[in-house]
Structure 1
Amino acid sequence: MREPRKWQVRLARAGLRGLLALPTPVKRAIAGKPVRVDGQELNLDTQVILRFTPQQQGTPPNFDAATARAAQRVVDLLVLGPEVTGASREDSSLPHPHGHRLATRLYVPDGSPTPSPLLVFYHGGGFVTGGLDSHDDLCALLATRAGVRVLAVDYRLAPEHPFPAAVEDCLATYRHVLDNAADFGTTPESVAVGGDSAGGSLALTVTHENSGSEVTRPAFLLAFFPLIGPAQDTRSRRLFGEGFFLTNDIMTTFANWYLPTETEWNDPRLSLGQDADLSDMPPTYFSTAGFDPLRDEGEQFAYRLAAAGVPVSLHRQSDLPHGFATTLGIGTRPREAVAEAAGALRSAFTLLEAR
């Protein structure tokens, strides 16, 4: 897939913003009747975008990772919101025990004291797409709204690097941050972990793998619409697996690239099954999306955390689809939902500091 020229992207983005700036009655006329599923009504701006987005049924024969990444980069450019200011950005890289280096981006809110809390954030993208740039606005908004440092991690992607490469990278970067906390302007006891979608899955794994020790356990876990396991059979996957951006077909394709053989499917670093001990997990905030095939598995996992005695806050953004956290240019609702999560992160660290 050939990526569009910069002027084409600017023109398309201007058209999108103009479309979303139309009066509500006009947008309703364009979008058609409200979409109501499972007692929820889809956000109007999202429905307008869907009206102009071809919903592919099945992946084409020549669909590969390069095509997926190019398509996702176009989407990322189109849905960018206004530039998030109020935080500095510093690109760097961290060493990995296997010899390679991992690109990172550190966000520091203006006027942030040293030391101050830090969120290690893992981007979504089905373990196949995404990176530092795709989640730049989200990480900057979390940093400025929560008043915390954010370290975004660019882990290796499938199919070039299948499971457990991403898990190994994310575990290594988290441990590196703990061992070198002062270099990031924080302290080991003030490090949280977060992510969205596939990155939410990685954040869960990193948290669970380090929850057996008070020394290494993250202070807080923040997850946007996390993937809990590759072979879930839930009502939301049946209700929203077609027609709302993320499809079951795409998830299956990406899962096959990430997990080329079935031997990995039950690995505890991938899927925390019913027998997993969750009692040592830290306080957690889950933000799910109503029109998301991953909705139910994320919420069910939040209930499991609560049953294990973990302080957990679950907020369903019932009118939004999967991926809303990186669509900050689509109306106001995605930004409001991210700001809500940032508020939970700020509160968590305020309570931690008060102890």
Structure 2
Amino acid sequence: MARLAGARVLSLDYRLAPDSPFPAALVDALAAYLFLLYPPADSGVAPVAAQNIVIMGDSAGGGLTFATMLAIRDAGLPLPGGIVGLSPWLDLLHSMPSVLTNAFSDYLPAEGFTQGGQGSLKRVAKLASTVHPDDDLLNHPDMPEIQHYASNAVLDCPYVSPLVERSLEGACPMLVIAGDGEMLRDEAIVFAKKNAGASPILHLSLYDDMPHVFPMFDFLPSARYALEQAADFIQSVTGDVQGIVNKSFVRVGVDGNRQPLEEDVVIGWEKRVGKLGGGHQVLANLPQTEA
């Protein structure tokens, strides 16, 4: 990415769960951003203007990228030039249908999305006699912890699950790249559609047949297209090149051909987008199959 975008890269070795659960990773990300903006006098590092910084991450790091942007905005700090999320994990509540429907077209193990794997799933199954669907599921005394990263009580916090943020008003330019075959596909679509009116520049690219974080498979043409797209975005929002359009929702074929994302894919989420942003009870009641 440094070569493609002609940029310098600061790779953040942030603390990981379960040894360091939320908010450790977010604190580390904010500390790194503040270091770039306001480096100590004895650091030997020159300050970097916020508009020249693009925060980028994939998977859990992609979710952290958007959470960091929210925290930066909410703290009143200068916003970065842009945000890039590659297959970002935006919903730790697993509310979206593709977590189930794309389980057989992705390499992520379905059982890996709950703490403890199959053991946790079996424990959850045993709750059927004690937990009612209308209960406060995340705070139910019989509900085991779902994630290593954060306790159940904060999974519907936007700094943990950016998908539930009510509005990205005042956000910086954003690029979301996802694979059409990945389990996290739907949350990328909903996040982009939900916030299309709030961000000055927002792009969603859905790559045909691609799995989770497919750009790391750099032998694939689609991976190269995605990395080049990210590099173009970085150069555009930092002012190195001109001409980026404000909004785009596109489907990218395996040959690199780009077409507008089908209307039914985007518009079909209106009812879900209208319900999002209020917490886990609303998310838990979303339909599990596409209408």
TM-score category of the 2 structures, normalised to the smaller one:
0.5 to 0.7
Aligned-partner residue type, residue 112 of structure 2:
I
Contact 1:240 1:247 in 2 (8 A): no
- Which whole-Å CA distance do the structure 2 matches of 1:208 and 1:198 have between them? 15
**Which residue of structure 1 lines up, in the alignment, with residue 220 of structure 2?**
331
- Which whole-Å CA distance do the structure 1 matches of 2:78 and 2:203 have between them? 22
The one of 147, 153, 158 equivalent to 1:268 is 158
- Which whole-Å CA distance do the structure 1 matches of 2:176 and 2:105 have between them? 24
The yes-or-no answer on 1:161 pairing with 2:43 is no
Aligned-partner residue type, residue 79 of structure 2:
R
Contact 2:175 2:230 in 1 (8 A): yes
Closer, same or farther in 2 for the Cα pair 1:315/1:336, shift >3 Å?
A: same
Contact 2:215 2:223 in 1 (8 A): yes
Closer, same or farther in 2 for the Cα pair 1:332/1:206, shift >3 Å?
A: same
- Which whole-Å CA distance do the structure 1 matches of 2:39 and 2:212 have between them? 34
Contact 2:82 2:172 in 1 (8 A): yes
- Which whole-Å CA distance do the structure 2 matches of 1:162 and 1:212 have between them? 21
Identity fraction in percent: 27
- Which whole-Å CA distance do the structure 2 matches of 1:144 and 1:246 have between them? 29
The one of 1, 5, 9 equivalent to 1:150 is 9
TM-score, L = length of structure 1: 0.54
SS at match of 1:306: coil
**Which residue of structure 2 lines up, in the alignment, with residue 225 of structure 1?**
87
Shift of 1:151: 0.9
Shift of 1:268: 2.7
Shift of 1:157: 1.1
Aligned-partner residue type, residue 61 of structure 2:
G
- Which whole-Å CA distance do the structure 2 matches of 1:217 and 1:201 have between them? 17
Shift of 1:274: 4.3
- Which whole-Å CA distance do the structure 1 matches of 2:14 and 2:82 have between them? 21
Closer, same or farther in 2 for the Cα pair 1:225/1:250, shift >3 Å?
A: same
| CA offsets 1:298-328 (integer angstroms, 9 cap, x no match) | 1110112213243201111112110212222
**Which residue of structure 2 lines up, in the alignment, with residue 196 of structure 1?**
58
The one of 146, 156, 181 equivalent to 1:291 is 181
Aligned-partner residue type, residue 148 of structure 2:
W
**Which residue of structure 1 lines up, in the alignment, with residue 231 of structure 2?**
342
Contact 2:98 2:183 in 1 (8 A): yes
- How many residues are paired up? 211
- Which whole-Å CA distance do the structure 1 matches of 2:158 and 2:164 have between them? 11
| CA offsets 1:255-280 (integer angstroms, 9 cap, x no match) | 52222x31221223112354533111
Closer, same or farther in 2 for the Cα pair 1:150/1:180, shift >3 Å?
A: same
Shift of 1:214: 6.9
Contact 1:325 1:338 in 2 (8 A): yes
Contact 1:163 1:264 in 2 (8 A): no
The one of 285, 306, 314 equivalent to 2:204 is 314
Contact 2:51 2:238 in 1 (8 A): no
**Which residue of structure 2 lines up, in the alignment, with residue 258 of structure 1?**
149
Shift of 1:143: 1.0
| CA offsets 1:129-157 (integer angstroms, 9 cap, x no match) | xxxxxxxxxxxxx1111111111101111
Contact 1:167 1:202 in 2 (8 A): yes
SS at match of 2:147: helix
Aligned-partner residue type, residue 148 of structure 1:
A
SS at match of 1:152: coil
**Structure 2: 5+ residue stretches without partners:** 117-145, 244-291
- Which whole-Å CA distance do the structure 2 matches of 1:227 and 1:346 have between them? 24
Shift of 1:194: 1.2
**Which residue of structure 2 lines up, in the alignment, with residue 114 of structure 1?**
none
SS at match of 2:115: helix
The one of 192, 198, 203 equivalent to 1:302 is 192
Aligned-partner residue type, residue 201 of structure 2:
P
The runs of at least 4 aligned residues of structure 1 exceeding 6 Å deviation read 351-354
**Structure 1: 5+ residue stretches without partners:** 1-141
- Which whole-Å CA distance do the structure 1 matches of 2:184 and 2:16 have between them? 21
- Which whole-Å CA distance do the structure 2 matches of 1:203 and 1:334 have between them? 20
Query: What pairs up with 1:83-232 in 2 under 5 angstroms?
Result: 142-180=1-39, 183=45, 186-212=48-74, 215-232=77-94
SS at match of 1:221: strand
Query: What pairs up with 1:42-81 in 2 under 5 angstroms?
Result: none
Shift of 1:288: 0.8
SS at match of 1:338: helix
TM-score, L = length of structure 2: 0.66
SS at match of 2:25: helix
Closer, same or farther in 2 for the Cα pair 1:331/1:268, shift >3 Å?
A: closer
Closer, same or farther in 2 for the Cα pair 1:253/1:213, shift >3 Å?
A: closer
